[in-house]
Structure 1
Amino acid sequence: MQFKDWVNDDIKKVLLVEPNFPIPNKSRNHSNFLPIGLLKIAAYFKDKPVDVKLIRFEEKNKDFGQTTFDFAPEDEYKPDIIFVTSIFTYWSEYVKNAVFYYKNKFKDVPIIVGGVYASLMPDHCLKYTKCDDVIQGPIDEVERLIPDYSLVDVDYQIIHTSRGCIRQCGFCGTYIIEPEWKCKKSIKDEIIKKRLIFYDNNLLANPHIEDILKELIELKKDKKINYLESQSGFDGRILRKKPHLAKLLKDAGFKNPKIAWDYGIKQAKSIKQQIDLLISAGFTAKEISVFMIYNYELTYEEMEEKRVKCAEWGVQITDCRYRPLNQTFDYYSSYKTKGQTEKDYHIHTEAGWTDSKVRKFRRNIRRHNICMRHEVDYHSTILERKKVPQDKAKEYREMNYDEAKKYLPDAWSPYEFHDASQQDYFKMKN
């Protein structure tokens, strides 16, 4: 069934549910994970005699495989329909738990699940969560609406200038979720906040992007906007064909530009050209970030070669650990002291990845980014954790890597290739 088949004049109360996803940095209003679909559904009902509530569902206790819930705000609120959002397929358990709770609480109320997981794996979602229906892809009836931001406390606005993507990358499900390439010619009438986060999967591919960027430049001059960021990276292949777009992006006020380096070291020349275009437009190297997907088809060794290149260019790295599009669980933990296995999360063994290599590469990226951001020659966990007296620490920080490694056995250079078997941490000698 479609969204329109579930909504009618009999609906007077609507409950919108965002499951308890393990969102990084614990911010429920993280700009990369805002439940924009739910907010658009809320906007659909805004001018109707319908009471809409948004719930950030919380799992309070989990013990011995039994999940119990302690949740009261909607106790006196019985909805006529419930919409639950989903994000990644590997967070499907959180969707299931939310549906389970509301199915038991409101036994005769239909529960509809939408979002990424529901769109990529509709049959699995329907069977696994036991919801009443699944909606795939964007909802036509709400797509053009401005989300109802009154339900969340944010100082930014989510914008789409396009849906879909002109590419069909094997690790990305956009072409499945949004198979039709749709583009807007203008967005100026949609803007209600000064900070904008673009959710386009390929912003520069919009054939009207120049007109849109010129709109944004004028809005910036009029002080109607003051911050722009693209959630996805800029398509460097388009940037090379249309280098003038880099200056338009800078003039419009885009921050933290990102480009993707999806494939092998042979792409280095092309990636460097893309970075140079952004720098020539006025962006600094350290504010540029390169998307790199690891635990995928390239080996640890080739990924490390790519990382070293990024260090030479002075740019940061936005790393993404690969999970298959049909992966329904992910229990990776950065806090595990013992190694995890494929029973815990996807490890791309075909390309030689292991749990230890995944962790090693993640540590390399973290230290790399610290060095790039602060424009320093090396990283030391000993200094970061303040394990030496302040006067000594100041002295060491003024040293270059070759000098510092004489005193700091854990000194780590971003410009060197680090073998996967190389020991990471050392203890200070007495």
Structure 2
Amino acid sequence: MTEHNLVACMTAALPQMLADLETLVRCESPSADLDAVATSADVVTELGTARLGVRPERITIEGRTHLRWRLGAGPARVLLLGHHDTVWPIGSLDRHPFVVEDGVVRGPGCFDMKAGLVMAFHAVAALPDPSGVTVLVTGDEEMGSPTSRRLVEEEASGCAAALVLEASADGGALKTARKGVSLYEVEAYGRAAHAGLEPERGINAAVELAHQVIAVGALADPGRGTSVTPTVLTSGTTTNTVPDVGRFAVDVRVRDTAEQARVDRAMRALRPVSDGARLEITGGPNRPPLEHAASAVLFARAAALADRLGLAAPVGAAVGGASDGNFTAGVGTPTLDGLGAVGGGAHADDEHVVVGELAGRSALLAALTDDLLADPPRRGRAYEPAGHVRLFEGDPS
């Protein structure tokens, strides 16, 4: 199929793509609701099977449902990666119904990232020979991929390239770099006492936490793009009791593995300031960075193919949020992210997809997949964090 015909094919398929997107959006799939995710997996299975002509493997891990299509009899070469879970609770459709109006699709999860799944199915269906393509759709990405991480890494390790169908960055930019994520919890232990009668006998965990919040916040390095943010904080039981325990969470975002290791060492080196207090630090790196080097070759190919397709030249963007693309890059697989829908409002009331971009983006995805099947890139070095770090599962959004 020529480039011109590929764009025309996707344009002709647009009504079906919108119908497929409506089917997916109308099936609510909040990550924490195992039954809802299982039902969503049923819907994705039927839709994907209709487009690809084969049924997927259904992989259930700790009650969470993931789907995998391995196409053709040969080895896997290109991984198309997405997720069908969302952040939206059951009942969100009542407040934000699916609607297509003035060239815009609205509805919970349409942008992040059910439109990306529709694009993947239609792009692969347009290939003259999809042998060597794996389509992996996970069901817990919005929770930090606690059960699917190993599955994602294993699939990526066997492929020459990973194409991630997460939604685009602002203006349709492809995501050529993502920050790595580390997540921690700092717990302070003191000694309870009556706050009015004998506060001097207590060891105030809240005061200790105040010292540690300041120390942790100081680990940030804006010049290197490193944020270290204390977030949820709790301490104490009653207003007249010196608190004996408290804790706060820490969200870390880094551009490179050296910074991830530096912050990890510093977090584990925290020491109590208050006499008699005790600290416990748990957590660690959750996702390695997706660095520019992991996406450069694929981005160049996408740019060349866009030109041949008569599409606007793609723009690359580095973003602070993480995705499963961090994992695929972490095992050394060339990775290009943000190949999904153009729109905005992920996780927000104004979540939307621009209809006019769907056909061209899907044509680009199909062309890039076909090009990679014909000429796979060389794989890079796997991610190896400096120093020993313990992985911690959590919300990477």
Task: Specify if TM > 0.5.
Answer: no
More strand by share: 2
Q: Higher relative contact order by CA 8 Å / sep ≥ 6: 1 or 2?
A: 2
TM-score, normalisation: structure 2? 0.25
